[in-house]
């Protein structure tokens, strides 16, 4: 987000906003130029005729604005009056008369209600029919009021699902096995060109989704949540011929890409909404922009419109230079009048092009089996006129620390669980060595998970000095200290040095490629420090993410991936090195204490896990204290000095 002004003093020079300021979004940039799309501001002519401009970086309010648009859409479906809401109490504000923030919020809500009323009157899309449940308007919601048919699924699919789930929560295992055999015989699973396997718990999850308008899917790490989503979409589209429009959404780009990549492997047509630079390389040709560019290249009408627009812009630039060089007022005024005429012509051509792009967008949306987008992107202009019959939303149980601090710590997933929404849980993990899942299974899932892989399927890296040979895991106790950068993010130089030594050992002496490793940390400052130090050691750092599957084009063997824990949701690597960072005498662990974040961090490894941390500090967290007890019982805890000695000994032996 940027602010453009003609004044060199800036947008806040006189103690208030410059009335001629323009507010926009950076769409593209290079070393020599920047392209900005303006959203608000005065007549553009005011700034176009300036000899110079000032560009200021601004707060990115896009996510907030789009979240509010979502609230407006949901508001149209809420069956109670605005008097039910108290914005001040909702936001935990003081009721003192001189509270300016309270006044501003109340004013915003007045505008909010006015906008909601206007949209209802204009017939704008109203959002989901489950808005009353999502918004918490009906806490005593009776889920039995919603028959299976309310979800709009094909009748054949409903009957098929009822074979496996004749009674809510009571699966028929024999019927499930029979259905799985039938699907395989029909070529819907392993014998198909886009073959995949589904276990009983995954089939029960799919059945639950087919039988309920809203379903919560618990996907413990490595249990194939994304595979299950792909199976649901494939079975609906290809097996039952479902014609409804499907949206796949998540908060992060990584999670959206995971769902679409899985759907694509099943032979489904996918369309990705979003900036190509934020999309996985294997999906970039399926982005809306790439598809529109392809269509534009084939359409002579569009090509002519773009060529004419380029010609007009060249004329406009030439005339601006000429206008600046003319000193006579009369001639200069004539040039500016011509500039205005050219600007109007460009705007006319732009509207034509915009109309064509809108038509192409509608055609591409209609042709796709699955449309993928982030939650913020779902409120963007590309989907403004689109309605979907089914939505799959990943990462529904996440809540950011900033949101929690503002009173929004309970996720939508948790709230729906609390009011009895239909749910299903996947119960077989296929990712990790069984010893790596033991703690996670007991600590977070009450021992309900079983292993779909054996220890022999996940051999530990050869030559690495694990303290307990049968358990490919180690906690390295480092007696360092944390620091804070200028933005308040934490870093730990001692832990970074240990990570660097371990990466070198694994790559140079254990036969692993850098692409087999994932280096993660909860803090952005530590991620930056690790990236810098490892890059100085000669490693190519992959910070953008991508596939972790060696059979996929996104996997680059020579690139070492260094990312935040949150950015690793849904990802995996052969070996994970986790730097926990926090080290202080007060046992303050911050958001490292979040059990969900710990769950993600500890469950990304397939064959080996190395955790680096400060024992005394981590004992201040219930989750991490339990983990320390577990690694001690398994004989997997070593001090930094012991590890360094073991690393030197291992190198000499080789």
Q: Is residue 98 a part of any domain in this protein?
A: no
Following CA atoms 69, 70, 74, 76 in sequence, which dihedral angle do they give, to the nearest 10 degrees?
Answer: 20
Position 348 scores a pLDDT of 76
Residues 247 and 392 in one domain: yes
426 falls within a domain: no
Q: Is 383 within the bounds of a domain?
A: yes
Average pLDDT over residues 272-289: 89
91, 117, 141 — which closes off a domain? 141
What is the pLDDT averaged over residues 509-538?
A: 94
**Within a domain: 89:** no
pLDDT given at position 319: 65
What's the confidence (pLDDT) of residue 104? Answer: 58
164 and 220 co-located in one domain? yes
313/332 same-domain check = yes
**Window from 73-77, 79-83, 110-114, 320-324 with minimum mean pLDDT:** 79-83
State the Cα–Cα distance between residues 599 and 223, nearest whole angstrom. Answer: 13
Q: Each residue of 352-377: pLDDT tens digit?
A: 777 888 888 999 999 999 999 998 88
Out of 141, 164, 185, pick the residue that ends a domain. 141
Q: pTM, whole model, 2 decimals?
A: 0.77
Q: How many Å apart are CA 426 and CA 416, to the nearest integer? A: 18
**pLDDT at residue 499, rounded to an integer:** 96
Q: Are both 226 and 240 inside the same structural domain?
A: yes
Determine the average pLDDT of the residues in 290-297.
Answer: 84
pLDDT at 295: 82
Residue 101 domain flag? no
Mark whether 69 and 182 lie in a shared domain.
Answer: no
pLDDT at residue 634 in the model: 96
Share of the chain above pLDDT 70, in %: 69
pLDDT value for 141: 67
pLDDT band at 625 (very low <50, low <70, confident <90, very high): very high
Mean pLDDT for the stretch of residues 524-551 = 79
Confidence of residue 260 (pLDDT cuts 50, 70, 90): very high
591 with 505, same domain: the answer is yes
* Residue 88 confidence (pLDDT): 41
Q: Averaged over 144-173, what is the pLDDT?
A: 77
Tell me the pLDDT band of 3, cut-offs 50, 70 and 90.
confident
Q: Is the pLDDT of residue 561 over 70?
A: yes
Higher pLDDT pick, 85 / 601: 601
| 320-349 confidence digits (pLDDT tens) | 666 666 555 566 566 666 667 766 776 777
Question: How far, in Å, CA of 595 to CA of 603, rounded?
Answer: 12
Convert the pLDDT of each residue in 215-225 to its tens digit: 999 999 999 99
Is residue 67 in some structural domain? yes
At 79, the pLDDT band (50, 70, 90 cuts) reads very low
Total structural domains in the chain? 5
pLDDT grade, residue 137 (50/70/90)? low
Identify whether residues 117 and 203 lie together within a single domain: no
Q: 538 and 618 in one domain? A: yes
Residue 462 has pLDDT above 60, yes or no: yes
pLDDT of residue 356: 81
Pick the residue with more confidence: 409 or 54?
A: 54
- 134-138 contact pairs (CB < 8 A, 24+): 134/74, 134/412, 134/416, 135/74, 135/78, 136/415, 137/78, 137/79, 137/80, 137/84, 138/79
In a domain, 92, yes or no: no
Lowest mean pLDDT among 186-200, 263-277, 438-452: 186-200
Residue 233: pLDDT band with limits 50, 70, 90: very high
Q: Are 143 and 170 in contact (CB under 8 A)?
A: no
Q: Domain of 151?
A: 144-293+368-416
Residues 272, 365: Cα–Cα separation, whole Å = 10
Looking at the structure, tell me whether residues 605 and 507 fall in a common domain: yes
Q: Kindly tell me if the per-residue pLDDT of 100 is higher than 70.
A: no
**What mean pLDDT is reported for the chain?**
79
């Amino acid at each position: 987000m940027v602010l453009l002004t003609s004044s060199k003093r800036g947008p806040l020079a006189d103690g208030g906003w410059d009335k001629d300021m323009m507010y926009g979004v950076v769409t593209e940039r290079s070393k020599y130029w920047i392209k900005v799309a303006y959203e608000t501001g005065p007549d553009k002519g005011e700034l176009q005729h300036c000899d110079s401009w000032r560009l200021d970086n601004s707060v990115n309010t896009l996510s907030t604005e789009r979240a509010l648009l979502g609230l407006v859409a949901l508001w149209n479906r809420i069956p109670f009056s605005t008097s039910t809401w108290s914005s001040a109490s909702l936001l935990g504000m003081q009721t003192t008369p001189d509270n300016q923030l309270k006044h501003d919020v109340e004013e915003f809500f007045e505008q909010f209600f006015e906008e909601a009323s206007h949209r209802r009157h204009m017939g704008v899309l109203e959002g989901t029919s489950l808005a009353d449940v999502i918004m918490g308007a009906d806490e005593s919601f009776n889920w039995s009021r919603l028959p299976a048919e309310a979800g709009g699924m094909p009748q054949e699919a409903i009957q098929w699902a009822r074979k496996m789930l004749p009674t809510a929560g009571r699966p028929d295992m024999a019927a499930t096995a029979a259905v799985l055999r039938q699907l395989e015989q029909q070529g819907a699973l392993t014998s198909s060109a886009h073959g995949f396997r589904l276990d009983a718990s995954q089939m029960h999850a799919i059945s639950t989704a087919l039988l309920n308008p809203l379903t919560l899917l618990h996907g413990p790490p490595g249990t194939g949540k994304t595979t299950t989503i792909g199976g649901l979409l494939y079975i609906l589209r290809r097996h039952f011929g479902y014609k409804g429009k499907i949206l796949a959404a998540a908060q992060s780009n990584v999670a959206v890409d995971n769902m679409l990549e899985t759907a694509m492997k099943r032979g489904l047509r996918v369309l990705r909404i979003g900036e190509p630079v934020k999309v996985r390389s294997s999906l970039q040709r399926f982005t809306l922009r790439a598809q529109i560019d392809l269509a534009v290249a084939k359409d002579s009408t569009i090509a002519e419109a773009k060529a004419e627009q380029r010609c007009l812009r060249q004329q406009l630039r030439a005339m601006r230079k000429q206008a600046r060089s003319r000193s006579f007022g009369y001639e200069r005024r004539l040039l500016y009048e011509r500039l205005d005429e050219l600007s109007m012509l460009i705007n006319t051509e732009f509207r034509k092009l915009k109309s064509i792009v809108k038509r192409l967008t509608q055609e591409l949306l209609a042709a796709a089996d699955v449309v993928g987008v982030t939650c913020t992107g779902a409120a963007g202009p590309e989907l403004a006129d689109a309605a979907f019959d089914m939505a799959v939303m990943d990462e529904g149980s996440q809540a950011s620390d900033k949101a929690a601090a503002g009173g929004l710590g309970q996720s939508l997933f948790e709230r729906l669980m609390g009011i009895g929404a239909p749910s299903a849980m996947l119960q077989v993990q296929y990712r990790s060595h069984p010893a790596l899942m033991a703690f996670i299974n007991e600590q977070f899932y009450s021992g309900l998970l079983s292993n779909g892989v054996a220890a022999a399927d996940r051999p530990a890296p050869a030559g690495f000095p694990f303290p307990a040979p049968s358990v490919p895991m180690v906690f390295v106790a480092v007696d360092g200290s944390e620091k804070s950068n200028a933005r308040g993010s934490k870093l730990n130089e001692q832990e970074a040095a240990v990570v660097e030594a371990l990466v070198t050992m694994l790559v140079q002496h254990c036969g692993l490629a850098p692409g087999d490793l994932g280096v993660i940390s909860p803090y952005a400052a530590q991620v930056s420090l690790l990236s810098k130090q490892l890059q100085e050691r000669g490693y190519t750092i992959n910070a953008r993410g991508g596939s972790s599957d060696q059979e996929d084009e996104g996997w680059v063997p020579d690139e070492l991936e260094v990312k935040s824990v949150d950015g690793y949701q849904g990802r995996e690597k052969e070996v994970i090195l986790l730097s926990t960072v926090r080290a202080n005498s007060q046992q303050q662990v911050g958001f490292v204490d979040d059990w969900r974040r710990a769950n993600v961090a500890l469950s990304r490894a397939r064959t080996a896990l190395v955790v680096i941390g400060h024992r005394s500090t981590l004992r201040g967290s219930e989750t991490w204290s339990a983990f320390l007890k577990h690694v001690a019982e398994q004989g997997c805890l070593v001090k930094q000095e012991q590890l360094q000695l073991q690393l030197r000994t291992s190198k000499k032996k080789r």
